[in-house]
Amino acid sequence: MTLAYFDKNVFDVLKAKYLAEKDIAKVNLSILHNKAVGIGEHSDIVSEVDKWIKIIADVEDKLAVLENQMPLTAEKYSEYE
């Protein structure tokens, strides 16, 4: 069962938001991995890396729900009935 037909503008904005959040997390992970200066204020590097990995996982879940459960058209809606 899907939630409802979804407005394309809302869909596009949410998708862009989630992709940006994922990119931010990836950049932060890259800095933590490659630049010692990024580690200065983070004494528990494992927890910090785990935090950003959780953000990526959360965003990927949101994208999956958005794309699979919130169709934009009747044709897509019928795929999930």
Contacts 24+ apart (CB under 8 A), 36-40: none
Answer whether residue 4 shows pLDDT above 70.
no
pLDDT at res. 1: 43
DSSP string, 20-41: HHHHHHHHHHHHHHH-GGGGTT
In a domain? residue 24: yes
- What pTM, to 2 d.p., does this model score? 0.72
Domain that holds residue 38: 8-79
In a domain? residue 2: no
In a domain? residue 65: yes
Express each pLDDT in 11-70 by its tens digit: 889 999 999 999 999 999 998 888 766 566 656 888 889 999 999 999 999 999 998 887
In a domain? residue 1: no
How many domains would you assign to the chain?
1
